[in-house]
Amino acid sequence: MEVTIKSPASSANLGPCFDCAGIAFPLYNYVKVRKTNDKKIRVIIDEKNDVREFIVDEKNIIFQSLKRFHEKINIDNTGYDVKIETNIPIARGLGSSASVISGALIGANELNGKPLKKNDLIDIAASIEGHPDNTTPALVGGFVIASIEDDGHVLYEKINWCKDWKISVCIPDYKLLTELARSVLPQKVDFKDAVYNIQKSAQLITALTTHNADIMKSALNDKIHQPYREKLVPGMSEIIKFLKKEKNVLGCVLSGAGPTLAVITDDDNICNVEKIVHKVWYDLDIKYEIMTFAPEENGATVV
Ligand code: HSE
C-alpha cells in the first residue's frame, strides 16, 4: 500500500518573529510513502523529471523522521520507499525540508493505522528541524506562531491572515543552505536590538488581529537575523530599501533563512515590486522567479 501526501511550502520568521512564526503557501511537494520489508529507507527524488534514488542513513531528515516515528510508536521500522515529487525549490527559504518531513511523518502514520495524533507529529517534525516555524505551518496550514516549550512539546496557535494582504516570494536561482545562514548569526545580540524585535513581533500580531496596515508596515522589520544574513543575499538591502517607498508594500523580509525575499503587499498589484526586484537583481546578473500567494489554510494532507 502506498499513500501520497500533498505538503505545502512555508515562509518562516516574517521578519521579526525569528524561529517562532511561519506561513504556509499553496505550492506543494508530493510525498509518496510505501512500506517495504528490507529495513532500508530508500528516497527517490523527482525534481522536474530528473529522478535520483538513494538509500539514506542517520544524516538524512527522512531517515530521522521515520526513525523517530517508530521509536514513538514502539514498533519496528521494517523499511520504506519515499518518493518526493519536488515543486518547492530546495534551499531557498521556502520550507522544502519541512514539507518533506511533514509528508514522511503523515505517510508513515497513515500506513501504520494512525497511531499518533497531529500534535505528536508536530513535535517530532520540530525536533528534527530544531525550530518549529516551518514544520508547524507545513502540518497545520495558515499563519502560525509556534515554539518548542521546555518539555519538548510544540505550543502553537493559528492567527487569521488579513485576506487583502498578499505575499510575493522573489526566488533567486541559487541555493543558500540554512546551516550557512545560521552560522553567520551572532552568539549574543545587543539589548536594544532584542527590545526592537520584541516590539516588532508584538506589532505583527497586533496588525494581524486588527488588520492594521500601518502597524504591519512598522512590524515587518528585524535587527537580529536579517542584518547578519544580508551579505549572503546580494541586492537584498537595496530591494528592501526601494520597496519601503512603494505605497502598496507593507514590507519586504527574508523568507526563512533566505535567499528568497517575501514581499507583503496590501493588494495583489505587484507591478512595481517586479520592476524593483528586476532592476536590482538584473544588474547583479541574478535570475529569479516571483510567485504571489494568499496563505494555504490546510497543512499537509493525504490525497
Ligand atoms: N527560523 C529559521 C531560520 C528558518 O531563520 O534560520 C529556516 O529554517
For the stretch 59-77, pLDDT in tens is: 999 999 999 999 999 999 9
What per-residue confidence (pLDDT) applies to 81? 97
Which grid coordinates belong to 164?
Answer: 487583502
Q: Is the CB of 256 under 6 A from ligand 1?
A: yes
What per-residue confidence (pLDDT) applies to 106? 98
What per-residue confidence (pLDDT) applies to 238? 97
In CATH, which superfamily holds the domain spanning 165-293?
GHMP kinase, C-terminal domain (3.30.70.890)
Where do the DSSP E strands lie in 181-274? Answer: 249-254, 261-265
- Return residue ranges of the chain for CATH 3.30.70.890: 165-293
Instruction: Supply φ then ψ for residue 74, to 5 degrees.
Output: 60, 40
Q: How many angstroms does the Cα of residue 76 sit away from the middle of ligand 1? A: 32
Q: Output the CA torsion sign for 121, 125, 131, 135.
A: negative
For cell 543552505, name the residue: 177
What's the longest Cα–Cα distance across the chain? 59
Q: Mutual orientation of helices 236-243 and 271-283 as an angle, nearest 10°?
A: 150
What per-residue confidence (pLDDT) applies to 269? 75
Distances in Å between the Cα of 74 and the Cα atoms of 42, 121, 127 are: 21, 15, 18
Q: Are 168 and 273 in contact (CB under 8 A)?
A: yes
- Return residue ranges of the chain for CATH 3.30.230.10: 2-159
Nearest CA to ligand 1 atom 3: 257
Q: How many angstroms does the Cα of residue 162 sit away from the middle of ligand 1? A: 23
Where do the DSSP E strands lie in the chain? Answer: 2-12, 21-35, 41-47, 50-55, 80-86, 143-148, 154-159, 166-172, 249-254, 261-265, 288-293, 301-302
Give the residue with greater pLDDT, 272 vs 207. 207
- The identity of residue 278, as a single letter, is H
Band the pLDDT of 49: cuts 50, 70, 90: confident
Please name the CATH architecture into which domain 2-159 falls: 2-Layer Sandwich (3.30)
Which grid coordinates belong to 3?
Answer: 499513500
Instruction: Supply φ then ψ for residue 37, to 5 degrees.
Output: -125, 15
Query: What pairing do the DSSP bridges indicate for beta strands 21-35 and 80-86?
Result: antiparallel
Task: Give me the percent of the chain exceeding a pLDDT of 70.
Answer: 100
288, β-bridge pairs? 172
What per-residue confidence (pLDDT) applies to 270? 85
Q: How many angstroms does the Cα of residue 171 sit away from the middle of ligand 1? A: 16
